[in-house]
C-alpha cells in the first residue's frame, strides 16, 4: 500500500483538459495507448478523477521532451 507525505489532490476531467490543452477524446486515446495518466474511478465508477501530480509530471515530461528535441 502506498503512503503519502501529504494527501494527493484530485482534479476533474475539465481541469485535466484545461491543464493539458487537450480534448477529452484525445486524453482518452492517449490514456488507452498508455501515454497519459490513468484516471481513478470513484463512487462505483460514476466519477473519475486524475491525480494532480501525475498530470503535472506528464506536462513536465512533455516540456523535457521538447527541450531535448524529442518528438
Residue ranges covered by each domain of the chain: 10-68
* 2-10 own/partner pairs: CB under 8 Å, 24+ apart: 8/51, 8/52, 8/53, 9/51, 9/52, 9/53, 10/40, 10/49, 10/50, 10/51, 10/52
User: Does the pLDDT at position 17 exceed 80?
Assistant: yes
Residues 31-57: tens digit of each pLDDT:
999 999 999 988 776 789 999 999 999
Q: Rounded to two decimals, what is the model's pTM? A: 0.81
Amino acid at each position: 500500500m502506498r503512503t503519502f507525505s501529504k494527501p494527493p489532490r484530485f482534479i476533474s476531467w475539465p481541469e485535466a483538459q484545461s491543464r493539458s490543452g487537450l480534448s477529452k477524446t484525445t486524453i482518452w486515446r492517449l490514456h488507452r495507448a498508455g501515454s497519459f495518466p490513468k484516471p481513478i474511478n470513484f463512487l462505483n465508477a460514476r466519477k473519475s478523477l486524475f491525480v494532480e501530480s501525475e498530470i503535472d509530471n506528464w506536462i513536465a515530461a512533455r516540456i523535457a521532451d521538447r527541450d531535448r528535441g524529442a518528438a
